[in-house]
Amino acid sequence: MIKVIVSGAAGKMGKEVCKAVLDDHETELYGAVDVDGVGSDIGTMIGRAPVDIEITSLADALEGGEAKVMVDFTFAGVVMENIRAAAENNVHIVVGTTGLSDDNKIEIKKLCADNGINAIIAPNFAIGAVLMMKFAEMAARYMSRAEIIELHHDQKRDAPSGTAMQTAKLIAPKIKGPKVQSEEILPGALGGEYEHVRVHSVRLPGFVAHQEVIFGGVGQILTVRHDSIDRTSFMPGVLMAVKAVQEYPGVTIGLDKIMDL
């Protein structure tokens, strides 16, 4: 059994991760960490029978040295502190928190090397979203222009999403068409720009996580779209990463690497 600590356990994603870990026969929920709900039984909090695991601080959850993997779904302001604590306690790391900078990733690589642990960092754990990015990367070789529209719930802290930024990085080197010539009457109307790929973010209640990549070519349009209509869509990918992280040395960026795409 893989003993798992979930950081951000009281959040919307964290609760789903706790459920998934509890339900899988290869994983064991060893600790639940959050600044909210400290002292509450996580089973009760996620609508299950009590499981005798109270929400604690990360330091308390790491005490004893039995945890093997920490899954972090917090936010950019605290994730590095959590990663440092896990690394110092020789716990492997699965990161779903977005907003990590390039400098953060360099530090994570050093932490992994210094402490003999591994990390999987994924901008999106939905298997369909990973395939969407792969299909977009394939299409970019053959289409002259592309724009990305990502739509999320209004509580999401960062814009663009990590998935949108990763998609832009994948397709931008392959897009050869000219830049947009339109002049913005309303600043920002054309969206943000990564190299020559425009990225648009929508934040509205009712959405979960959605992205489409629209390609334009001579006399044709191609749209590649993925929709997560429920947070459970991310859980197969999270569990895949939890089970794989001990076997992938160092830092692995993207779920596609362990899907062999």
Token pair 């050093």: residue: 110
Alpha helices in 63-156 (DSSP H): 76-88, 102-115, 127-140
In the residue annotation, 153 being an active-site residue is answered as no
Q: Which residues face 217 on adjacent strands?
A: 220
Alpha helices in the chain (DSSP H): 12-23, 42-45, 58-62, 76-88, 102-115, 127-140, 162-171, 235-244
What's the rounded Cα separation, in Å, for the pair 203 and 50?
35
What's the rounded Cα separation, in Å, for the pair 159 and 136?
20
In the residue annotation, 169 being an active-site residue is answered as no
Structure tokens at 120: 């999987």
Q: Whose CA is closest to 86, among 121, 51, 125, 42?
A: 121
Q: Whose CA is closest to 14, among 240, 258, 222, 234?
A: 234
Per annotation, catalytic residue among 152, 200, 210, 226: 152
Per annotation, catalytic residue among 105, 156, 174, 257: 156
Alpha helices in 3-160 (DSSP H): 12-23, 42-45, 58-62, 76-88, 102-115, 127-140
Catalytic site positions: 152, 156
